[in-house]
Every structure is written in structure tokens, then in C-alpha cells.
Structure 1
Amino acid sequence: MLGKLWLIPNTLSEGPIERSIPEEVRDVASGLTHFFVESEKGARAFLKRLPLRIPIQDAEVLALDDSRAMERMLDVLRQGRDAAILSDAGLPCVADPGAQAVLQAHRIGAEVKPLVGPCSILLALMGSGLNGQSFAFCGYLPVEKIERERKIRELEQLSSRHKQTQIFMETPYRSQKLFESLLETCSDGTWLSVAANLTSADQTIGTRRVAEWKNGRVEFGKAPCIFCLSSLP
């Protein structure tokens, strides 16, 4: 019998793990020994907070970008042992590595078990007040200024044409620059929601028209942010 592949959610912020990871998920993760992860450092930090039922040094923790990871994961499953996919923050396979590993598990007939946990994309959408019936996640926008502004205008047009919320993100140290580009590029009537430091004690979510954002100076610093944009009236 094949082992199961568990998809383990990670926290989005510091603080008690109980705040965002359900007890059932912590219990499952605590009993596993084979982890295929976004990064070894991020995974070990999470595993120390559980804690594991075995010494952490005895757990197998292998980064998904390691050339050995895929075949090793499949070997574990074929031997009838369970394995886990774990990202550095939030849900694995959703704007994070892991999808190819899950696909290969399906191909050999292993059972895939996704578990409940925090997802910054959906939390930001939930808290935005914008259209949650039709939305698109666009990942990261271009870094280069001209290309980024072109992409922002394209997202505005898509939102207007399809009545669809456009969701995107940026690395924390570029959040402020992206926010300023949005104010410079978007129409004054466009709705912009910014969710910063989700699930942390200093979480903020604000939704305003671009013209309103321009009226006051807002500093997000290096906070991790999710942006939601809508051209609806």
C-alpha cells in the first residue's frame, strides 16, 4: 500500500502557532518524519514549534529544488510511508512550490491529503470587500518600472472588462515601491486594497479608491503585503 502525501500549512507570521494552525494539523505534522520543503531553514523553524514526536535531527528534511527530492519522495510513498510538502509560509502549492510533487504523487496513485491553514491570498480577498465571486491571482508584477506600470494598466483593464478582482503580491522589501507605482499608474476611481502583516498582531487591511490613498502618506515599510485591485464602480 502506498503512503499518503500530506500538504501541511505553515504560519504567515510570528507568534503562537495555535493562532493559525489547527490542532488536527499540528497533530498530523508532529507524527511525520519525511518532509519535502520550500527551504530547509524555514521548515526546521516550523517543525521546532510543533514540536515533532522524534528528535528534529532524525527527521528527513529535503528542499524541493534539490535534484534528489522528487525521486526520494516517490520512494518514501512507494515504501508505504507518509510524506509531507511544507512551504515557508501559508499553503504549499498555492503561490509556493509543491505542485509538481503533488502531480507525481497522483501519477503513482498515492492519496493526497491537503490540510486546512492560512492563505494570505484568500485572507486578503476576504478582508478587501471586493468581488469574491470572480477573481484572479497574478503572482508577482514585473520589477522594472515601465513593465510594471504596463502590467498595472493591463490589470485595471482586465478588472473592468471581466468585473474581476485582480490579486497580486510583492517581496516585502519592495512592497512600498509597488504601492507607490499603483498610486501613480491607476485611475483615481480604481479600488485598491492592501493587506499587510496578515495574521500578526499588527495586521492591517485597508480598501480605498486610489484618490483616497493619495490624500494621506501611508508607509508599509518591509511588511509582507497582498494587493487587491478592482475597477468596479
Structure 2
Amino acid sequence: MTDNKTFPSEIPTLYIVPTPIGNLGDITQRALDVLSSVDVIAAEDTRHTGKLLSHFNIQTKTFALHDHNEQQKAQMLVDRLLQGQTIALVSDAGTPLISDPGYHLVSQCRQAGVKVVPLPGACAFVTALSASGLPSDRFSFEGFLPAKSKGRRDKFTEIEKAERTCIFYESPHRIMDSLQDMLAVLGPERDVVLARELTKTFETIQGMPLGELIDWINEDDNRKKGEMVLLIHGYRESESEAFSPEAIRLLTLLVKELPLKKAAAIVAEMHNLKKNALYKWGLDNLE
């Protein structure tokens, strides 16, 4: 066991400590050493963190630091640090400050000259991105989607032409409403990955065109449960912009005799195109 008197640091230090997002085996040895050795742990939910500490037989005292009290309590923790204490900051799961509390505390620590040491570790959106199959050379993490439909549609409109992979968190009770708003703005052909229950027993990572993904989720209510990450493929030149003049001419002729949906299916099969994209083009241009 590391000597508590000399570890983590003799210098007043705030440690940013990631905790598992599901599987407790994902915590690092360094995180355990820090949590065991600091003077106090600032936790988003002391009861939740208490279960983690109990599992690893860590006796360090905890202090509640969450969205509702952080601005008021941050200075008090900075004062304790300036008096020589060491503090670990944790959230309920994953890396603190990533859609979790901690920004005000870290900002005030840096302004006061307190040493801030980040530990690497679990992060849901990074975990999801690594296994999504979507481009990872350029991406943006956008946090939780807005709670109301207008806000969500505004956000999807904002990223509609973004060429990077865009990543959101979403809750189970809003997932279908959010996907419907996404469908209204981005259309059924945009590739989207749903990653849920990461590192847990029922971990699922499923990617397909958005219209198909919505149908897939609706097939089983269990697919609407759990912590969720949504990853959206960046904008690509739409297939409608690449339709050949022959395909467009045939579609234009067929819709005079057939419903657009059936005409699009026939043209798509003959020219090896995606019928949903062709159908959408027809809605926008022929009706």
C-alpha cells in the first residue's frame, strides 16, 4: 500500500479522478491509490460514490459537490486546498466535467494557483466512438440534447452540414422523441450509431441509417433502456446530388402513373440507388 503521508502529493493538489461507467474492473490502480490517499473526495452523489468506495474498501471521507451547490462550495474547497489538503474530484460515472459537475471548482483552483492533476480513465462518449465505426479523425462532443423538441431540432439544424462526427448523450425516456426530431432534420439515410449500457451486461452498439435504426429500436422495448450515446456521421454529399439524369428522367415519367414511393423503389432497383434517398428527392422536387 502506498504511504498515505507522501502520496499522492505533498503539494496541495486537486485530482480529477474518472470512475467506471459500468464495469467496476475499469477503474485504474492509480485512481484507487489517489482515492485512498487524499484528505477528502468531492463527489457528485456521496451515496453513489460511497458504494464504489465500499467495494474497494476505501475509507476516505466524501463531500457533496453537485450542480446545485458547486458555485457556492467551490471556494470553500479551494480554501481547504490552500491550507494544505489534497482533494479528489469524482462524478457518478466517467470523467468529471464531461457533462458532469466540476468546472467551477477546477476553474477557481487554477485561478488560485492550486495544482490540478487529471487522471486518464473511463469516458462514455470516447468508449462509444472507438467502437462505432464512424470517422474518429474529426468529432465533437455536444453533451446532452435539449429537453424540448424545438431545442433539439435547432441543434440538429446547427450540425446538419457539419462534416465531423457529432456525439450526444440522451436519456431513455427521451430517446425516441429525439430520434424523431433527428429524422425530421437529417433524414432517414444519415448513418447513426446508438451505444447503450456501455461496459455493462446488456451493452449494445448498433449503427445503421437513421430510418432503419428507429425501426430496429421499436422492435424491442429493451433497446430503449439504459444510458445512451448517439453518434451521427458527418455530412456527406447526399446521394440525391449524385443521381444520374437517366434515373431522374425515369422517376419523373413513372410518377405520372404510379405513387412516388413505388416509382422510387422501381428506379432505385434498376439504378442500384437507395430508395429512401430517391423518395426524399422526389418529395422535394416532384410533388
Structure with higher strand content:
1
User: Shift of the alpha carbon at 1:134?
Assistant: 1.3
- Asked if structure 1 preserves the Cα contact closer than 8 Å seen for 2:17 and 2:95, the reply is yes
**How far does residue 94 in structure 1 lie from its aligned partner after superposition?**
1.4
Q: CA deviation at 1:171?
A: 2.3
Q: Which runs of 5+ in 2 are unaligned?
A: 1-9, 238-287
Percent identity reads 26
The equivalences for 1:192-207 within 5 A come to: 192-207=192-207
The CA deviation at 1:36 is 1.7
Give the structure-1-normalised TM-score. 0.85
- Is 1:191 the equivalent of 2:169? no
Secondary structure of 2:127's partner? helix
Structure 2 Cα separation of the partners of residues 148 and 119 of structure 1: 23
> Given that residues 192 and 210 in structure 2 are in contact (C-alpha distance below 8 angstroms), is that contact kept between their aligned partners in structure 1?
yes
Q: Equivalents in 2 of 1:137, 1:101: separation in Å?
A: 21
Which residue number corresponds to residue 62 of structure 1?
A: 64
Q: Quick one: which of 38, 42, 54 aligns to 2:44?
A: 38
Instruction: Give the direction of change, closer, same or farther, for the CA distance of 1:184–1:76 in structure 2 (3 Å limit).
Output: same
TM-score, length-normalised on structure 2?
0.70
1:196 maps to a residue whose letter is R
Specify whether residues 172 and 193 from structure 1 end up closer, same or farther in structure 2 by C-alpha distance, changes over 3 A only. Answer: same
What is the Cα deviation at residue 223 of structure 1?
1.2
Max radius of gyration: which structure?
Answer: 2
Between 107-116 and 215-224, the greater mean CA deviation after superposition: 215-224
Whether the 8 Å contact between 1:33 and 1:60 is mirrored in structure 2 is: no
The partner residue of 2:108 within 100, 104, 108 is 104
- What are the Cα deviations for residues 168-217 of structure 1, in whole angstroms up to 9, with x where unaligned? 11123323332344345432221101110011121111121224325533
Which residue number corresponds to residue 144 of structure 1? Answer: 148
Letter of the 1:150 partner, please give it.
D
| SS in structure 1 of the partner of residue 80 of structure 2 | helix
Equivalence for 1:165: 165
Distance 1:131 1:151, change over 3 A: same
Report the structure, 1 or 2, having the larger helix content.
2
CA distance 1:171–1:76, shift in 2 (3 Å): same
Structure 2 distance, partners of 1:214, 1:79, is 54
- The answer for the alignment partner of 2:28 in structure 1 is 22
Q: Distance in 2 between matches of 1:167 and 1:20?
A: 22
Counterparts of 1:95 and 1:109, CA distance in 2 = 25
3-state secondary structure, aligned to 2:157: helix
The aligned residue for residue 14 of structure 2 is 5
Q: Counterparts of 1:108 and 1:214 in 2: how far apart (Å)?
A: 49
CA distance in 2, matches of 1:122, 1:60: 27
Matched residues, number: 222
CA-atom RMSD, angstroms?
2.2
Distance 1:50 1:32, change over 3 A: farther
Deviation for aligned residue 1:46:
2.3
